[in-house]
Amino acid sequence: MDNWIFTALSEKDIDEVERIEKESFSEPWSRDAFEDATDNGFHRIYCLKLGTENGDITVAYIGWAVVSGEAEITNVAVDAKFRGKGCGNELMKHAMAAFEKEDVEKVFLEVRAGNAPAIGLYEKFGFRGIGVRKNFYRFPTEDAIVMMKNMISE
């Protein structure tokens, strides 16, 4: 994984992030939402890029917000062409390192109940289901599983 680069989202990444977001979710975040998130002080969005001889390609991103020692992961997506190649792993590894550095105690996220790849990824990093929000998602309607990782006991 020598030529992977993990870096804070910048204006020049937003076109690619917007494209990946639209191909990944039925209710994607808007461009404005990404721009606001990079601007509001408590949100962080990082991109995973592949360094090539023709320049860097943005292939994935992860976002979270930290408030009072608790983090919520708000965005995780990998370009469809790059899924199943370890990018999700790489995103989570970097996020976990950032949580440790920021002394985050608990990390929460929500995921569609039927999203086996994402649930598999989160479980691999020590997240466990702690609740269900009935019919939380639309297009299609589906329950959300609330997952949590306790950073202190890990």
Ligand X SMILES: CC(C)(COP(=O)(O)OP(=O)(O)OC[C@H]1O[C@@H](n2cnc3c(N)ncnc32)[C@H](O)[C@@H]1OP(=O)(O)O)[C@@H](O)C(=O)NCCC(=O)NCCS
Residues binding ligand X (CB under 6 A): 24, 76-78, 83-89, 111, 115-118, 120-121, 124
Residues noted as catalytic: 110, 122
Task: Supply angle C-alpha 42, 55, 117, rounded to 5.
Answer: 55
Q: Rounded to the nearest whole angstrom, what is the least distance from the CB of residue 134 to ligand X in the complex?
A: 17
Residues contacting 131, CB < 8 A, separation 6+: 145, 146
- Closest contact distance (angstroms) between CB of 153 and ligand X is 21
Please give the residue whose beta carbon sits closest to ligand X in the complex.
88
Q: Which is nearer to ligand X, 41 or 140 (CB)?
A: 140
Please give, one letter per residue, the 3-state secondary structure of 47-104: EEEEEECCEEEEEEEEEEEEECCEEEEEEEEECHHHCCCCHHHHHHHHHHHHHHHCCC
Nearer residue to ligand X within complex by CB, 118 or 148: 118
Which two structure tokens, joined as six digits, stand for 66?
A: 């930290």
* Residue placing its CB nearer to ligand X in the complex, 90 or 151: 90
Using the structure block, give the residue that is written with the tokens 């680069």: 5
